[in-house]
Amino acid sequence: MAPVPVMVRMDIAYDGSFTYGFQKQKSLMSVQGTVEGALKAVCGSYIPVVGASRTDRGVHALHNVVSFVLRDDALYERVVRRLPVMMPEWLTIRNCVRESANFSARFSTVTKTYAYVFIKEGGWTPFLARYAYRLEYPVKTDAMNEAAHALLGTHDFKGFGNIDPSRPHRDTTCTLSTADVVETDKAVIFMVSGDHFLYHMVRRMAYFVLKAGQGKIGVETWNNAFAGPDVPYTRQVMAAGGLYLVAVDYA
């Protein structure tokens, strides 16, 4: 009997400060390259991996998902046993399960959730430099929330994103289902969920929301955030280290 291929879903978490991003790059450390290298060591041949989100260099993931196809159940069982202990200290396999044959970590995604972390001056330490953005002065979180809420719904987010060179004809219309700012004793966190995101879009939205909290923009600006390329503070990109992929959801 011919072997039956197995579609595998693997949930992972990683510290992005150790890599040059998710996507495999020649001679540079990447999440995709690390996983594929370990799979080759276990399986004896190259196994291509598809990722839900191709996070940039320095961006972290509490939850990303990859998918790949294995030859048969025996190889799947070997991967489940051996792959977790082969991961470097900056990458953890959270789960590894069989999926339906038509599953794709990238194209089956329904919602992705990101968080951008700002640390208040009183909570800052030098050990957070690769993991958050330092707020040197207080911000008005109510204004940040109003600006965030103005981004909700379905819009053309071209003004907040770059076109991925590998996908020049990609639709720039995105739907945001949540966009909120949460404040704690030591941090201010911008949380956003949507069906998909353009390149640098979340980090640009985080900058826009920050400027609202600093009083640099007001109601008129954030209520017209999609008016065109000349809207203030939509093209600047926050540092990568404060951004986290928090969740990837499927139907």
- Please, how many CA atoms are within 13 Å of residue 163, restricted to the half-sphere of its CB? 10
Which of these is catalytic: 56, 72, 195, 249?
56
Percentage, residues of the chain above pLDDT 90: 84
DSSP notation for 8-24: EEEEEEE-GGGSS-SS-
Provide the pLDDT for residue 166.
63
Instruction: Decide if 56 is catalytic.
Output: yes
| pTM of the full structure | 0.94
Per-chain mean pLDDT for the chain: 94
Angle at 128 between CA 29 and CA 112, to 5 degrees: 65
Structural contact between residues 50 and 136, judged by C-beta atoms closer than 8 angstroms: no
Q: What is the pLDDT of residue 141?
A: 97
And the tokens for 232? 């203030």
Q: What's the whole-number mean pLDDT along residues 88-110? A: 97
Compute the C-alpha angle 57/59/61, nearest 5°. Answer: 130
Q: What is the pLDDT of residue 3?
A: 83
Q: What is the pLDDT of residues 202-214, one digit of tens each?
A: 999 999 999 999 9
Query: What is the structure's pLDDT at 165?
Result: 62
> With 80 as the cut, is the pLDDT of residue 193 above it?
yes
For the segment 65-95, what is each residue's pLDDT rounded down to a tens digit? 999 999 999 999 999 999 999 999 999 999 9
Tokens 């819009």 identify what position?
Answer: 155
* SS3 state at 103: coil
Q: Is 214:137 a contact under the CB 8 Å cutoff?
A: yes
Q: Which of 245, 112, 247 is nearest to 177 (CA)?
A: 112
Model confidence pLDDT, tens digit, residues 7-47 = 999 999 999 999 999 999 988 999 999 999 999 999 999 99
Q: Which of 36-45, 140-149, 158-167 has the lowest mean pLDDT?
A: 158-167
pLDDT greater than 80 at residue 230: no
Please check if 20 is assigned to a binding site. no
Please report the domains of the chain, with CATH numbers, ordered by start residue: 6-99 (3.30.70.580), 110-250 (3.30.70.660)
Count Cβ atoms below 10 Å from residue 239 Cβ, excluding itself. 17
Retrieve residue 133's tokens: 């953005």
